[in-house]
Structure 1
Amino acid sequence: MLDLISHPAEHVVAMKASGVVTAQELQRAIDAIEAAKRAHPRVSLVVEIDGLRWLTLTALLKDLGYGLTQLGDLKHYHRAAVVTDQEWVKHLTHLEDRLFKAVELRTFPMRDHAAAMAWVGDLPRGEHENPEDDGYHGA
């Protein structure tokens, strides 16, 4: 299951993945990312992964296809946080971090969920749509 979750910073797309992720669920996440890219010059992502078993074949193909289309468009992305205690996900995230240097990517343990939400909500100075808003202000 892949659900969109709320985040107070409008440039952040937040989601939670567990169990089996379907192509339809993944498409909702892709649509949210694309909408955020149209509305904001920089977008950050946070995904909480807890008990993820696998993606269906069509979801995996959709994820790979979308990921490949984004390689030439990394300037729209600022940060990505993966919140998980699953070791295989941490290893995969570290590999992606080495491959995609244009995007800041970090893993956080589940106990540091609030820190991950705050980190992705932060934008570099001068890139806030509202100069008085520094992004995420919650706990």
Structure 2
Amino acid sequence: MTQPTFTATLDAPNLLVMDVTGQMDSVAMEIALTMLVPVVKDMRHGAALLRAEGVEWPTLGAIGVELRHWGQLMAMIRKVDKIAVLTDQGWVRNLAAVESLLVPNLEIRSFAPDAEADARAWLTGGAPEDGGTP
């Protein structure tokens, strides 16, 4: 298990930027969710940019924390219409594609880590050059 790191900041009133690395355990997940609540509280039809590098599958404890906070997570997700995921990890890209299909009114696309400009263009309504991967 590698040490998890998570940050969440607003780049603009409706643009959340998150950086995550390592393997989230129950403590890290609890801290991440606690950190997110005040950051997204005033967002409406927002967008999120997620930089996911060196991410490992979360522990069962982390998944348990997500399930315990399911209502709170869904309330936060309803504030976001689009998520751009910057990653070169295939399993993260696949998970993003599945979540995009499962969560109503949420569109998630994956982009290469060096395609942040394209990801930001897509989030703001512009067309990225490579189109990203749905």
Calculate the TM-score normalised by the size of structure 1: 0.69
Equivalent residue of 1:111, what SS? Answer: coil
Unmatched runs of 5 consecutive residues or more in structure 2 = 126-134
Percent identity between the two aligned chains: 22
Cα 1:110–1:14 change in 2 (3 A) is same
The structural deviation recorded for 1:48 is: 1.4
Mapped to 2, the partners of 1:74 and 1:57 lie a distance apart of: 22
Q: Answer yes or no: is 1:103 the counterpart of 2:99.
A: no
Question: Which of 37, 56, 68 is the equivalent residue of 2:40?
Answer: 37
* Closer, same or farther: CA 83–91 of 1 in aligned 2, 3 Å: same
Match of 1:23 among 23, 26, 36: 26
RMSD: 2.5
| Number of positions where the alignment pairs a residue of Structure 1 with one of Structure 2 | 121
2: CA distance, partners of 1:47 / 1:16: 6
Q: 1:73 and 1:17, CA in 2 relative to 1: closer, same or farther beyond 3 A?
A: closer
- How far has the Cα of 1:13 moved from its partner? 2.6
Runs of 4+ in 1 over 6 A off after TM superposition: none
State the Cα distance separating 1:76 from its structure 2 match. Answer: 1.9
Counterpart secondary structure, 1:92: helix
Tell me how far apart the structure 2 counterparts of residues 86 and 38 of structure 1 sit (CA, whole Å): 30
Q: Which residue of structure 1 lines up, in the alignment, with residue 56 of structure 2?
A: 53
Find the aligned partners of 1:113 and 1:5 in 2 and give their Cα distance: 16
Structure 1 unmatched ranges of 5 or more: 124-139
**Which one of 65, 81, 84 corresponds to residue 81 of structure 1?**
84
Q: 1:74 to 1:49 in 2, by over 3 A?
A: closer
Q: 2:8, 2:39 within 8 Å by CA — same for their partners in 1?
A: no
- Determine if contact 2:40/2:76 at 8 Å carries over to the other structure: no
